[in-house]
Amino acid sequence: MELDVSILFSAPKVPMMSRVISKITNSKTSHTAISFFDSSLNQRLVLEAWWFGFRVITYEHWLKVNRKVAEFKLPSYDFSSALEELASNIGTDYEYKTFFWAGLDALLSRVGVQLKPVQTPDKYICSEAVLRLLKMAGVPAVSRLENEATDPGEIYEIAKNNPDFVEVL
């Protein structure tokens, strides 16, 4: 069954936090998630790596804490098996190691030091979950991005500029 899947990019609803994050990451988005319609529940749901773990919530609930920056569909891809595979990790902890690694890496890269990314295929930060989904579905535009070392802004830049991604307006 083909699923109605889209990729969401957002910023925190708290304006100050949003500004701080966009300063650090140099992007207007600091979070990314996967949206899909579940026909058995008749609900639009969001799958995301959040501070409390990898979870599914309703789209309505997601909008309460997120200011949507952009949403993209990839009409030429079938995400059903990729989504199923990713969903088998619902409930796993958030990958704090990667989160702190990213901050440290950003600082150290300014002085020319490169860290080796943390490798944990079953624990995610938000961008890692989205990236793994896109890669499993065979989207070539993201194939060179590191699963554990990419921030939402980098995926957003690709989505804006690659014809496989169609913005939902």
Residue with Cβ nearer Ca ion (43 or 120) = 120
Per-residue x/- track, 26-45, Ca ion (CB under 5 A): --------------------
Task: Restricting to residues 97-126, name those near Ca ion by CB under 5 A.
Answer: 120, 123
CB of 98 to Ca ion, least distance (A): 5
What residue number has its CB nearest to Ca ion? 120
Name the packing angle between helices 152-161 and 126-136 (round to 10°).
40
Residue with Cβ nearer Ca ion (69 or 125) = 125
Strand partners, 53: 50
Per-residue x/- track, 77-96, Ca ion (CB under 5 A): ------------------x-
- All residues at 6 or more sequence positions from 106 whose CB lies less than 8 Å from its CB, including other chains: 24
How far is 122 from 129, CA to CA, in rounded Å? 9
- Residue 162 has a CB neighbour count (10 Å cut-off) of 15
Residue with Cβ nearer Ca ion (21 or 149) = 149
Are 125 and 132 in contact by the 8 Å Cβ rule? The answer is: no
CB of 114 to Ca ion, least distance (A): 18
Residue with Cβ nearer Ca ion (58 or 120) = 120
Residue with Cβ nearer Ca ion (58 or 117) = 117
Q: Where are the beta strands (DSSP E) in the chain?
A: 5-12, 31-38, 43-50, 53-58, 66-73, 166-167
- Enumerate binding residues for Ca ion (CB under 5 A): 95, 120, 123
